Amino acid sequence: MKVYISATLRNFFGKNESLDVEAANIKAILDYLTDEYPEAKKILFDDSENLRGFVQIYVGEENKSDKSYWKEEIDAGEEVLLLPAIAGGAPVESIISDDRRKAITFDDKEVERFSKHLMLRDIGVKGQKRIKSARVVVVGAGALGSPVIQYLAAAGVGTIKVVDFDEVSLENIQNQILHTSRDIHRPKVASARDKVRNIDRSIQFEDVNLQLTADNIYDVIDGYDLVIDCTDNYKSRYLINDACVLAGIPLIFAAIFQFEGQVGVFNVNNGPCLRCLYPKPPEPGLVPTCSEGGSISPLGGIIGSIAANEALKLIIGIGNHLDGQILVVDSLYLHFRTLNVDKNADCPLCGFAPTITTVEDFDYEDFCGLREDEDEEPIESVEPDELARRIEANEPITFVDVREPHERAVLRFPNAIVIPIGQLARRKNELDKSVDTIFICKQGQRSALAIRTLREAGYDGSMYNLKGGLDEMKGIIFSHEGAWL
């Protein structure tokens, strides 16, 4: 049996893209995998031995994540896919009404500008008028948002709102093609506004420089026809999904990680939502985000272009789309898979008896594991400036680096012990309880998970988390040789 491992999980399976497993059913496959790769058990199963909600198991194109399928015999020729969150469509009518389409007119310049669309039988004048009358929200102006925003503008979408709260940094330039070196330290939405104006000044563009919350998301998406999720964190994804379902707005989901991407269409014609596919996100730090794990430069363009294409098909009302499906693209091994997503009758948001009726009543911090348990001992942190002072004073400190090898190759932390999170419990005796131990990662999330892991394993030494991770240490200058990192 050929078992394919999604890119997000490969570090737990010896970096293998696929494994040949001699097994007749899913249970036997999972037993083999967790015996052969013990560190994978924690990411696949929770403490109650249940499959985690952010992991899905597909046999061929069918979702077999429910335990009731696990003892069914699988044909030897079938392919099994372990698919984590990173997080058959049929043609439908346009999401733009005929009344709005008929109210649109073109001048001679627009006829010339959109001539390649007007010549296409499936688009023509009616389709292009629908594009011009469409109102689309793009959340995220990074690697995914870059191609989405530019292709929507080039296609002639009449109103585009871009939401992002971040500024352009040098490391963004590699794969966020919306921005250039001149945009560094500018808000990403300002850079997006300039690019759209350079494409077509007649487009109604709204730049919204804020972080989405339950309090503001309704105002952000109200009155729009379509939302495209180009974010890079789980809290935003579930917040956007829930708001779109409750507001009755279709959602296009796009995600990337390293060499793999996913695209899906949710909330169309009473179809499934994100929670139907992934009932729960992974715990913080368990799976790195795109910003932590990186991605190859063209991947955002590949997945973002597909997302923009799905958006235009929904606006025009043509072709097959990914409603009820998710497209998984592995750019490293050139695998493209379209998997079915069933609507979950028990979904707390879009099922037959929903329990989530408003985003304000739902605690996304708690749901995504971002809120600390009041009964749990708080994790002590050390500020980057304070750590710099202690390093300068040559204080005895043990540093534990829990980052991936490729991250350490880019930025090395001197004199650190390298221990992956999955090995911490069995290697705790390597730590010296007589000195402070400071855990480091890129942004401070995985290192916090490392401290919790050691506490559960019974380690009672003094442990601190580097607040903000190494991202917050980059600008600190040390007295010797200009810099320490």
Catalytic residue among 230, 273, 368, 441: 441
Tell me, what's the pLDDT at 414?
82
**Segment holding 2, helix H or strand E:** strand 2-5
pLDDT surpasses 70 at 90: no
Measured distance CA(235)–CA(367) in Å, rounded = 8
Determine, yes or no, domain membership for 445.
Answer: yes
Are 345 and 441 contained in the same domain? no
| Long-range residue pairs from 477-480, CB within 8 A, at least 24 positions apart, any chain | 478/388, 478/391, 478/392, 479/392
Are 242 and 339 contained in the same domain? yes
Determine, yes or no, domain membership for 124.
Answer: no
Q: Is 462 in a helix, a strand, or coil?
A: coil
368 is catalytic: no
Tell me, what's the pLDDT at 43?
78
> Lowest mean pLDDT: which of 87-101, 237-251, 309-323?
87-101
Of 218, 223, 106, residue with least CA distance to 156: 106
pLDDT surpasses 90 at 251: yes
Determine, yes or no, domain membership for 232.
Answer: yes
- Last residue within a domain, chosen from 84, 107, 122: 84
Measured distance CA(225)–CA(159) in Å, rounded = 10
pLDDT surpasses 60 at 484: no
Are 310 and 386 contained in the same domain? no
pLDDT digits (tens, 9 = 90+) for 36-53: 888 778 778 887 888 887
Tell me, what's the pLDDT at 371?
60
**Segment holding 365, helix H or strand E:** helix 364-367
What residues have CB less than 8 Å from 296, skipping those under 6 apart?
Answer: 175, 258, 259, 331, 332
Determine, yes or no, domain membership for 325.
Answer: yes
- Inter-CA distances, 469 with 86, 116, 118, Å: 21, 49, 51
Catalytic residue among 230, 290, 347, 368: 290
- Structure tokens that stand for 185 in this block: 């330290």
CATH number of the domain that residue 461 is part of: 3.40.250.10
Are 277 and 174 contained in the same domain? yes
The residue that leads in pLDDT, 445 or 146, is 146
Other Cβ atoms closer than 10 A to 208: 16
Q: What percent of the chain has pLDDT over 70?
A: 90
Determine, yes or no, domain membership for 193.
Answer: yes
> Lowest mean pLDDT: which of 164-178, 193-207, 210-224, 274-288?
274-288
* Band of pLDDT at residue 89, cut at 50, 70 and 90: very low
**Segment holding 244, helix H or strand E:** helix 234-247
> Lowest mean pLDDT: which of 84-98, 146-160, 273-287?
84-98
- Last residue within a domain, chosen from 342, 367, 392: 367
- Last residue within a domain, chosen from 303, 335, 367: 367
pLDDT digits (tens, 9 = 90+) for 330-347: 999 898 999 888 888 889
DSSP letters along 167-219, please?
B--GGGGGT-TT--GGGTTSBHHHHHHHHHHHH-TTSEEEEE-S---TTTHHH
Determine, yes or no, domain membership for 80.
Answer: yes
pLDDT surpasses 60 at 361: yes
Chain centre distance of CA 7 = 13
State the residue range of the domain holding 463: 381-472
DSSP 372: P
**Segment holding 291, helix H or strand E:** helix 290-293
- Inter-CA distances, 215 with 273, 376, 407, Å: 21, 28, 36
Amino acid identity for residue 188 in this structure: K
Residue 115, phi-psi category: left (phi > 0), alpha (psi -120 to 50), beta (remainder): alpha
Other Cβ atoms closer than 10 A to 277: 27
Amino acid identity for residue 6 in this structure: S
CATH number of the domain that residue 244 is part of: 3.40.50.720
Of 144, 169, 311, 148, residue with least CA distance to 231: 144
pLDDT digits (tens, 9 = 90+) for 273-305: 999 988 877 665 555 554 555 788 999 999 999
pLDDT surpasses 90 at 73: no
Stated pTM of the model:
0.69
Tell me, what's the pLDDT at 131?
97
The residue that leads in pLDDT, 203 or 483, is 203
Determine, yes or no, domain membership for 103.
Answer: no
- Structure tokens that stand for 280 in this block: 């729960």
* Band of pLDDT at residue 228, cut at 50, 70 and 90: very high
DSSP letters along 91-155, please?
----SS-HHHHHT----HHHHHHTHHHHTSTTTHHHHHHHHHH-EEEEE--STTHHHHHHHHHHH
CATH number of the domain that residue 9 is part of: 3.10.20.30
Are 392 and 361 contained in the same domain? no
Q: Is 10 in a helix, a strand, or coil?
A: helix
DSSP letters along 246-264, please?
HHT--EEEEEEEBTEEEEE
Provide mean pLDDT across the span 461-472: 88
* Band of pLDDT at residue 87, cut at 50, 70 and 90: very low
The residue that leads in pLDDT, 49 or 267, is 267
Measured distance CA(475)–CA(485) in Å, rounded = 9
> Lowest mean pLDDT: which of 5-19, 75-89, 295-309?
75-89
Amino acid identity for residue 107 in this structure: D
Q: What is the mean pLDDT of the chain?
A: 86
Determine, yes or no, domain membership for 392.
Answer: yes
Of 272, 189, 188, 286, residue with least CA distance to 234: 286
Tell me, what's the pLDDT at 314?
96
Are 394 and 362 contained in the same domain? no
**Residues shown for the chain:** 485
Are 313 and 337 contained in the same domain? yes
Are 321 and 421 contained in the same domain? no
Are 344 and 405 contained in the same domain? no
Cβ(443)–Cβ(292) under 8 Å?
yes
- Overall number of domains in the chain: 3
Tell me, what's the pLDDT at 19?
85
290 is catalytic: yes
The residue that leads in pLDDT, 126 or 415, is 126
Are 254 and 279 contained in the same domain? yes
* Band of pLDDT at residue 448, cut at 50, 70 and 90: confident
Q: Is 315 in a helix, a strand, or coil?
A: helix
Tell me, what's the pLDDT at 482?
43
- Inter-CA distances, 81 with 65, 258, 353, Å: 10, 18, 30
- Structure tokens that stand for 218 in this block: 């309704």
pLDDT digits (tens, 9 = 90+) for 123-142: 999 999 999 999 999 999 99
Are 17 and 73 contained in the same domain? yes
Residue with token string 């985690």: 52
Are 398 and 353 contained in the same domain? no
Please give the biggest Cα pair distance in the chain: 78
What residues have CB less than 8 Å from 482, skipping those under 6 apart?
Answer: none
Tell me, what's the pLDDT at 163?
97
